[in-house]
């Protein structure tokens, strides 16, 4: 079982999506998708009296965004980086209400947000997407702040973060290690 904390507005999460789904399929592991509201940072602007720390922060943020856009381009995904700042909290709440396998809903939400620039917080669109995926929703609506606090108390600070056997893996770079853990679990 892979527990995957995601935020639809996170470009890192979107870039991790296909490799994570493939990993789960290859290792016959289920994915329990959970919401995590990431805090997308605005790119710092250059100022005349910029100090070394500010220069480092600005340069790092610019480099991270360029790298994300580059990886998206390699996968033939045309992204609008400003989508990182669009609220997707209602879609995250809907995700947490889905009973059963949420993967198809997750795939559709990411594609709609990043490829189509759909407002995935639109309740009618969310209800139609859930129905189109053949899924059902729990009646109660979870408190996203409570879910966020629980995740942070478990050690999360950003998305994507995956949990396998109690171990946290933040970001896409850990997919090979996650694969080894899942493969070792199936051989035991």
CATH of the domain at 175: 3.40.30.10
pTM, full prediction: 0.84
Domain hosting 120: range is: 2-38+87-187
Contact present, 37 and 144 (Cβ < 8 Å) = yes
The pLDDT value given to residue 37? 93
Over residues 156-166, mean pLDDT: 91
Residue 60 lies in a domain: no
62 occurs within a structural domain? no
Percent of the chain with pLDDT over 90: 59
Predicted pLDDT of residue 46: 63
Whether residue 25 lies inside any domain: the answer is yes
Q: Does any domain span residue 165?
A: yes
Residue 80 in any domain: the answer is no
Q: Is residue 121 in a domain?
A: yes
Whether pLDDT at 121 is above 70: yes
Strand 167-170 and strand 161-164: the pairing is antiparallel
Between the alpha carbon of residue 63 and those of residues 114, 130, 161, the distances in Å are 20, 36, 21
Band of pLDDT at residue 84, cut at 50, 70 and 90? confident
pLDDT at 134 over 90: yes
Q: How many domains does the chain have?
A: 1
pLDDT at 94 over 90: yes
Task: Calculate mean pLDDT across residues 37-51.
Answer: 69
pLDDT of residue 13: 93
Residue 156 placed within a domain:
yes
Is the pLDDT higher at 48 or at 175?
175
CA-closest candidate to residue 139, choices 108, 173, 96, 110: 96
Q: What is the pLDDT of residue 81?
A: 82
Cis peptide before 8 (omega within 30 of 0): no
Is residue 38 predicted with pLDDT exceeding 70? yes
Residue 136 lies inside a defined structural domain of this protein:
yes
């Amino acid at each position: 079982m892979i527990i995957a904390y995601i935020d639809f507005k996170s470009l890192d999460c979107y870039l991790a999506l296909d490799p994570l789904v493939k990993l789960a399929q290859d290792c016959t592991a289920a994915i329990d998708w959970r919401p995590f509201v990431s805090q997308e940072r605005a790119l710092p602007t250059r100022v005349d009296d910029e100090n070394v720390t500010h220069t480092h922060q600005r340069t790092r943020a610019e480099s991270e965004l360029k790298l994300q856009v580059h990886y998206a381009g390699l996968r033939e995904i045309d992204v609008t980086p400003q989508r990182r700042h669009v609220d997707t909290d209602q879609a995250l709440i809907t995700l947490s209400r889905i009973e059963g396998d949420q993967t198809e809903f997750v795939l559709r939400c990411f594609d709609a947000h990043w490829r189509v620039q759909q407002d995935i917080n639109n309740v009618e669109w969310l209800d139609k997407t859930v129905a189109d995926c053949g899924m059902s929703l729990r009646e109660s609506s979870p408190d996203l702040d409570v879910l966020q606090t629980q995740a942070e108390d478990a050690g999360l600070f950003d998305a994507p973060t995956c949990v396998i056997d109690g171990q946290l893996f933040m970001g896409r770079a850990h997919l090979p290690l996650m694969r080894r853990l899942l493969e070792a679990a199936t051989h035991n």
